[in-house]
């Protein structure tokens, strides 16, 4: 399967993440699965004129290709012309994407910008940035809510800012093997092999979360949800199970989850590292948890917090180790 990768309004961080794959040679792995990159703006050797000729061949149907990958937001402005982003100084990128999408067997949005609009769509959105098939959490985007590829799939949204390299590679491999159907995508078009998990799953701070023993500053070991804006209980991703670089995640590095795999993460309505509350209750409660349950469980948990957990939560290192308890015979 041939991959044509274009970059629109973005920082290139998705490509940078992808190149950080730990599986060895990325290109050898793709080749082993029968995947070939026809062109990539950062990885291909073709000059501008050669690239434009190749892409024109793909858009006209003269050069067959299978997967269209777009990295970065679609910039529709000003006034729907797409003139804010012209490929190589010529035709607007939106025109290229529209022509290529109907030729591709599959269309893949790489990262939350291409999926939902992401960072470029924040604020007043002067460039009229959007995703390929979503404008935030609303179906639409450039291709419209009813777009389907040749196999009946919507745009496949590998959301994340940036996505884990394995999310990209495994999605492409599933397409190459014919193993990715409609039932393998969630309601936002994200591959369920990673989007059916929560960042909360596998979080090393879960003991502190269970007892609502909260950190007060970023160097503390406690839970970051109650005071420091962590949204790991709402973010769909397996970041704490499929670690980055074999050992890391935002939470393991001491940073709160900002829910970057979700539409609208770029505008939470408050500072990223704060937790808004109403009557002392966080606005953003965990997924699937009614407010009444959270209040009851939080009160019970705090009353039962072991002294060890309470002390360690507001320290930057372990102050008290777990006690040794002998088994009863």
Q: What gap in Å lies between CA 191 and CA 51, rounded to an integer?
A: 30
Q: What gap in Å lies between CA 155 and CA 112, rounded to an integer?
A: 13
Second CATH level (architecture) for the domain 197-316: Irregular (4.10)
Q: How confident is the model at residue 289 (pLDDT cuts 50, 70, 90)?
A: confident
Q: 2-193 has which CATH code?
A: 3.40.50.700
Q: Is the pLDDT of residue 76 over 80?
A: yes
Q: Is the pLDDT of residue 186 over 90?
A: yes
pLDDT for position 37: 95
pLDDT for position 167: 97
- Residues in CB range of 18: below 8 A, 6 or more apart: 26, 110, 163, 165, 168, 169
Residue showing tokens 């982003």:
85
For 239, the 3-state DSSP assignment is coil
Q: What gap in Å lies between CA 305 and CA 168, rounded to an integer?
A: 41
Q: Is the pLDDT of residue 192 over 80?
A: yes
- C-alpha pair distances (Å), 43 with each of 27, 115, 171: 11, 22, 20
DSSP code per residue over 72-125? SBEE--STT--TTSBGGGSSBHHHHHHHHHTT-SEEEEEHHHHHH-TGGGSTT-
- Tell me if 2-193 shares its fold with 197-316: no
- Phi and psi at 70, nearest 5°, equal -120, 130
pLDDT for position 138: 92
- Residues in CB range of 258: below 8 A, 6 or more apart: 229, 231, 250, 265, 268, 272
Using alpha carbons, select from 131, 127, 153 the residue that is nearest to residue 140.
131
pLDDT tens for 194-230 read: 999 999 999 999 999 999 899 999 899 999 999 999 9
Average pLDDT over residues 99-104: 96
Domain boundaries, the chain: 2-193, 197-316
**Among 70-74, 137-141, 301-305, the least confident range:** 301-305
Q: Is the pLDDT of residue 291 over 90?
A: no
Contact 230, 224 (CB under 8 A): yes
- The top-scoring range by mean pLDDT among 26-30, 46-50, 116-120, 272-276 is 116-120
Q: Is the pLDDT of residue 89 over 90?
A: no
pLDDT for position 21: 87
**Among 67-76, 143-152, 245-254, the least confident range:** 245-254
Q: Is the pLDDT of residue 284 over 80?
A: no
Q: How confident is the model at residue 185 (pLDDT cuts 50, 70, 90)?
A: very high
pLDDT for position 125: 96
Q: How confident is the model at residue 279 (pLDDT cuts 50, 70, 90)?
A: confident
pLDDT for position 172: 97
pLDDT for position 327: 80
pLDDT for position 25: 85
Q: Is the pLDDT of residue 128 over 90?
A: yes
């Amino acid at each position: 399967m041939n991959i044509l990768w274009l970059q629109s309004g973005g920082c290139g961080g998705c490509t940078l993440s992808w190149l950080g794959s730990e599986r060895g040679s990325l290109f050898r792995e793709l080749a082993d699965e029968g995947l070939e990159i026809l062109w990539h703006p950062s990885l291909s050797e073709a000059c501008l004129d050669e690239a434009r000729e190749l892409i024109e061949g793909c858009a006209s149907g003269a050069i067959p290709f299978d997967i269209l990958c777009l990295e970065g937001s679609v910039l529709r402005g000003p006034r729907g012309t797409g003139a804010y982003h012209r490929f190589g100084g010529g035709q607007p990128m939106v025109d290229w994407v529209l022509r290529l999408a109907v030729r591709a067997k599959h269309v893949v949005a790489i990262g939350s910008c291409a999926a939902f609009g992401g960072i470029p769509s924040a604020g007043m959105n002067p460039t009229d940035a959007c995703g390929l098939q979503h404008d935030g959490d609303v179906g639409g985007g450039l291709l419209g809510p009813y777009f389907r590829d040749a196999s009946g799939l919507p745009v496949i949204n590998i959301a994340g800012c940036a996505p884990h390299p394995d999310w990209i590679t495994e999605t492409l491999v599933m397409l190459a093997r014919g193993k990715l159907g409609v039932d393998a995508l969630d309601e936002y078009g994200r591959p369920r092999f990673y989007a059916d998990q929560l960042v909360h799953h596998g979080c090393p701070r879960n003991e502190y979360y269970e007892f609502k023993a909260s950190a007060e500053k970023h160097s503390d070991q406690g839970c970051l949800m109650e005071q420091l804006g962590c949204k790991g209980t709402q973010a769909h991703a397996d970041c704490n199970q499929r670690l980055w670089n074999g050992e890391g995640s935002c939470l393991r590095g001491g940073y709160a989850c900002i829910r970057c795999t979700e539409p609208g993460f770029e505008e939470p309505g408050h500072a990223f590292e704060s937790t808004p509350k109403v009557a002392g209750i966080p606005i953003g409660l965990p997924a699937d948890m009614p407010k009444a349950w959270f209040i009851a469980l939080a009160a019970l948990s705090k009353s039962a917090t072991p002294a060890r957990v309470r002390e360690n939560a507001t320290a930057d290192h372990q102050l008290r180790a777990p006690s040794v308890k002998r088994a009863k015979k």
